[in-house]
Amino acid sequence: MNNSDTHALTTRWQELDSRHHLHPFTDYKNLHQKGSRIIVRAEGVYLWDSDGNRILDGMAGLWCVNIGYGRKELAEVAMEQMRQLPYYNSFFQTSHPPLIELSELLSEITQPHFNRIFFTNSGSEANDTVVRMVRRYWDLHGKPQKQIIISRVNAYHGSTIAAGTLGGMTTMHEQSVVVMPGVEHIEQPYWYGEGGDLDPDEFGIKAARALSERIEQVGSDNVAAFIAEPVQGAGGVIIPPKTYWPEIKRICAEYDILLVADEVICGFGRTGKWFGSDYFELTPDLMPVAKGLSSGYLPIGGVMVGGKLADVLVDKGGEFAHGFTYSGHPVCTAVAAENIRIMQRERIVERVEQEVAPYFRRKWSELADHDLVGEARSLGLLGALELVKDKRTREFFDPALGVGNRCRDICFDNGLVMRAVGDKMVVSPPLVINHEQIDELVEAAARCLDLTQQQLR
Ligand code: PXG
C-alpha cells in the first residue's frame, strides 16, 4: 500500500472506532475530534501504528507486557492449548493440566506461605475476590464485625464497583451511583506533593500512622484489612519513603488487620524482585495479581492466598460461593505458565535487578536537570517525572493548563509512549528493554520535555 492508501485506511478505522466503540477512561467528544491512534503491530519494546510510525512503548502496554511483544512461544502454546482443550471450567470438582501447572509455578515463585491461587480474569475481579475473601475469613474466624477495609487516597485497584470503591480515585467515586459501604481511605505516602517541610523519612512515618489513627477512630474490632499497592502505579508511581512499609507492617500486626498487597503492577519483576512485597520485605496475607502474570498476552488475574486465610477457607469454609466462568481458563493459564517459565529461563527478574534497573535509574535521574522536572524518581522499571512550574519551590502548574497531557501528546507524536497522570509523566517499559533502548527512551523524553516547554512559552 502506498502512503495515501495507508492514510485513507487509518482515517476509515478512526471513523468506525469513534462511531461504534466506547473506550475505557476516555472523553468521547475529545477523542472524536482527534481520532484514535491505531496500533497494528508490535515487536520487543516497539509498537507500529497504522501510518507506519514506530513508537517506543515506555508503558509496556498498560504496565503489563513484561517480557516484551512478539514472543512466538506464547503464540505457539496458545495454539496448542486451543487444539487440545480450548475451554473447560474449574467449578464443579474439575480441573485441567495448565491450571494445575500454573498454580504450582506460582506457589514456587511467591513467598513460602503462598501455596494457593484463586483465578480471575483481571485485576479488578481479583480485588472483588479480595473483598469476598477477607470478609468471609473474619466471618469464619468468629469476628464477623471485622468488615471495614482501609485503602488510600489516589490508589487504583480496578474499575468494578468493589475495586473502584477500594481505589481512591475521586472522579470514579463521583460517577458511581452506588459506592460499596465499609471502605475507608487514608492519605498516600506521596512525599513530593504532600510532604511539606517534613523530610521523606518523617513523612513516611506520618503517612503510615494515618492507618493506626483511622483504626482507632473506627475501632480495630471493625477493621478487616488494609489494601495497598507496594508502589502506587496509576496514581503516578508514588514510591513510599523507606520508613513507610515497616511502620505499616507493624501497625497491621499490632491491630490484627490483614495486609493485602495489590501486586497487579508491581508483580512479576517490575521492581527487580518477583513481587513488590519481596522488594519491601512484606509478608502480605493476600496478593491480587494480573497484568504481568501473562505479560498481557491474554487476560488473566488471580489472588494469591496465604496459609492463614487458605487454612480457614479450606477447613471451616464449606462452599465458597464465588467464581467466574473463565476462572483459570485453559488457554490463559497455559500462556501465563509459559510466560513465567520464559522469565525463569532467561533470568529476566534477576537481570532487571542487577543490570537493567540500575542503568535505568542512572539515566532517568539525569532528567531531573531539566527545567520542567521537579523530581525524577524510579524504582525497578517504574519511573516518574514531576512536571512543575518552579522546581525550587515545588510549585505545580495550574491543572487547567493540562501540561502532562500536552507532554504525553508530544511524546506520542515523537515516537514515545509516556503516560501522563495529571502533571506526572510515568513510564513502565517492558522488562526486556536493553541499555540502548533505555538511552533512546531517555533522550526522547528529554526532547519531548523541551518541546513541551516551548509550547508553554
Ligand atoms: N490493581 C492495580 C494496582 C492496577 O494497576 C488493577 C488493579 C485493575 O486491573 P484490571 O485488569 O481490572 O484493569 C490495576 C489496573 C493506567 C491504568 O492508565 C492502570 C490500570 C488499568 C488501566 C489503566 O495507569 N491498572
Atom 19 (ligand 1) nearest CA:
234
Cα 448–chain centre separation = 25
Ligand 1 atom with the shortest distance to the CA of 266: 3
Tell me the C-alpha distance between 376 and 368, whole Å.
5
Tell me the DSSP string of 330-394.
HHHHHHHHHHHHHHHHTTHHHHIIIIIHHHHHHHHHHGGGSTTEEEEEEETTEEEEEE-SBTTTT
417 lines ligand 1 (CB under 6 A): no
Residue type, 52: G
Average pLDDT score over residue span 151-162 = 97
Task: Give the per-residue pLDDT at 146.
Answer: 97
157 lines ligand 1 (CB under 6 A): yes
64 lines ligand 1 (CB under 6 A): no
pLDDT at 177 over 70: no
357 lines ligand 1 (CB under 6 A): no
Strand order in the sheet with 39-43: 39-43, 46-49, 54-57, 416-417
135 lines ligand 1 (CB under 6 A): no
Task: Give the per-residue pLDDT at 361.
Answer: 98
Average pLDDT score over residue span 68-82 = 98
pLDDT band at 41 (very low <50, low <70, confident <90, very high): very high
Is the distance from CB of 45 to CB of 403 less than 8 angstroms?
no
pLDDT at 110 over 70: yes
pLDDT at 4 over 90: no
Is the distance from CB of 69 to CB of 42 less than 8 angstroms?
yes
Ligand 1 atom with the shortest distance to the CA of 291: 11
Q: How far does residue 259's CA lie from ligand 1's centre (Å)?
A: 19
Task: Give the per-residue pLDDT at 178.
Answer: 73
378 lines ligand 1 (CB under 6 A): no
Arithmetic mean of pLDDT over the chain: 97
Atom 22 (ligand 1) nearest CA:
62
Alpha-carbon distances, residue 120 vs 33, 45, 62, 174 (angstroms): 36, 27, 18, 27
Q: How far does residue 358's CA lie from ligand 1's centre (Å)?
A: 26
Average pLDDT score over residue span 148-173 = 96
Cα 77–chain centre separation = 25
Express each pLDDT in 222-270 by its tens digit: 999 999 999 999 999 999 999 999 999 999 999 999 999 999 999 999 9
Task: Give the per-residue pLDDT at 317.
Answer: 87
Express each pLDDT in 27-39 by its tens digit: 999 888 889 999 9
Tell me the C-alpha distance between 56 and 427, whole Å.
11
Sheet strands (E) in 101-248: 114-120, 148-152, 183-186, 223-228
SS3 state of residue 185: strand
Tell me the DSSP string of 282-316.
---SEEEE-GGGTTTSS--EEEEEEHHHHHHHHHH
pLDDT at 2 over 90: no
pLDDT at 374 over 80: yes
411 lines ligand 1 (CB under 6 A): no
Task: Give the per-residue pLDDT at 176.
Answer: 74
231 lines ligand 1 (CB under 6 A): no
Tell me the C-alpha distance between 381 and 428, whole Å.
6
285 lines ligand 1 (CB under 6 A): no
Ligand 1 atom with the shortest distance to the CA of 122: 11
Domains and CATH numbers, the chain: 37-67+347-456 (3.90.1150.10), 73-345 (3.40.640.10)
CA nearest 258: which of 156, 134, 102? 134
Average pLDDT score over residue span 167-191 = 91
Tell me the C-alpha distance between 452 and 388, whole Å.
12
Is the distance from CB of 269 to CB of 349 less than 8 angstroms?
yes
